[in-house]
Amino acid sequence: MKAIFIAYNQAYNQEIVELLQDFGQRGYTRWEDVGGRGTVDGEPHLGNHAWPTQNHAVFTAVPDDKVAPIMKALQEKDTQYKDLGLRAYSWSIEEYIK
């Protein structure tokens, strides 16, 4: 089992959840109105007067074999809309309560 955390521009809104559902991933936790700034380039997303855009974030736990295809789809989305900003991270889950 792997965890995937995705932070993305609010413009993606429901698209990220739909992407996960396309891979058969039902469960997730989503946060809205998440501030942040990318590590390389792009504008901050802070939800204030100077930087009004905000991010959303999703956390999901997926079977190991679904990580690579989901990450590839997210990478394609980020490449297609580079100005929006999208970051995704995965790591192993040691234990969990189902």
Q: Indicate which CATH number applies to the domain containing 85.
A: 3.30.70.120
Higher pLDDT, 40 or 92: 92
In a domain, 98, yes or no: no
Q: Is residue 94 part of a domain?
A: no
* Assigned domain for 45 exists: yes
Number of structural domains (the chain) is 1
Classify residue 35: in a domain, yes or no. yes
97 within some domain? no
| pTM of the shown model | 0.89
- The predicted-structure confidence for 36-65, as pLDDT tens digits, reads as follows 777 777 777 777 778 778 889 999 999 999
Distances (CA, A) of 13 to 33, 63, 81, 95: 11, 24, 14, 30
- Residue 7, domain extent: 2-89
Residue 37 lies in a domain: yes
- Residue 23 maps to a domain: yes
